[in-house]
Amino acid sequence: MRRGGSRRLALWTALQRVLAVLLLPPAYGIALCVGLVIRLHSPGPILIRLSREGKDGVCFPMYKLRTMVVDADAALRKCLNENEDLRREWQQYGRLACDPRIAGPVARQARRFSIDELPQFLNVVCGRMALVGPRPLPVEVAAGMRPDDRKCRQTVLPGITGLWQISGRSELSIDAMGSLDRLYVRNRTVLRDVGILLRTPWAVTSGRGAY
């Protein structure tokens, strides 16, 4: 990448942190209100921290609105051990269309419209994420990607939104996500990032591919 392009991207990354600071109060206000309703159906914390693989392969705590039952990990292991079809779906997509861990109907709608991801603005403020980038993945899911795809996505900060978000979301397999990540990293510019941001509201409100 040319020096001018690198400088513009560095400035754009800094600007994203400023934008995240401005968006943080309303984002957390909405998330907390929805979280209180979820808590009525499923006792537990409103906000949680999940380990995700970030830039250079370094894991970081990602903030998120809790939309799953408290013992979600145990519930996932149980259903994968007992159901071969669900196990294959998890291996291919890294998620389940009919996830038994979802903490009720409000939580399901919060996931559909990405309200559960609003607390991630704090990760952007802290410099661990960007507004636009590859989707932050658990290590065990990232390990299922093609090695070249995983290595490529580790060269940039993960994002709240990205090509995955506007291209089908959970309908895409892990391999398809890896291909999109590689395409994004190799062709990344400020204008392309802005284009992804402008297309994100429609992708989110349509609910397409959201589980």
Whether 211 is in a domain gets the answer no
In this model, does residue 209 exceed pLDDT 60? no
pTM comes to 0.85
Residue 49, domain member (yes or no): yes
Domain extent, residue 143, equals 3-206
Number of domains in the chain: 1
Residue 44 lies in a domain: yes
Task: Note whether residue 115 is domain-resident.
Answer: yes
**Through-space distance between the first and last CA atoms of the chain, rounded to whole angstroms:** 37
As beta bridge partners, residue 137 has: 53
In this structure, is residue 99 part of a structural domain?
Answer: yes
- Residue 32 covered by a domain: yes
Digit-coded pLDDT (tens) for 99-112? 778 888 999 899 88
pLDDT in tens, 4-45: 578 899 999 999 999 999 999 999 999 999 999 999 988 999
Structure tokens at 36: 């209180």
**What is the gyration radius of the CA atoms in the chain, in angstroms?**
17
| Residue 40 in domain | yes
List Cβ neighbours of 53 (8 Å cut-off, separation of 6 or more): 59, 136, 137, 138, 139, 142, 154, 158
Asked, for residue 193, whether it belongs to a domain, the answer is yes
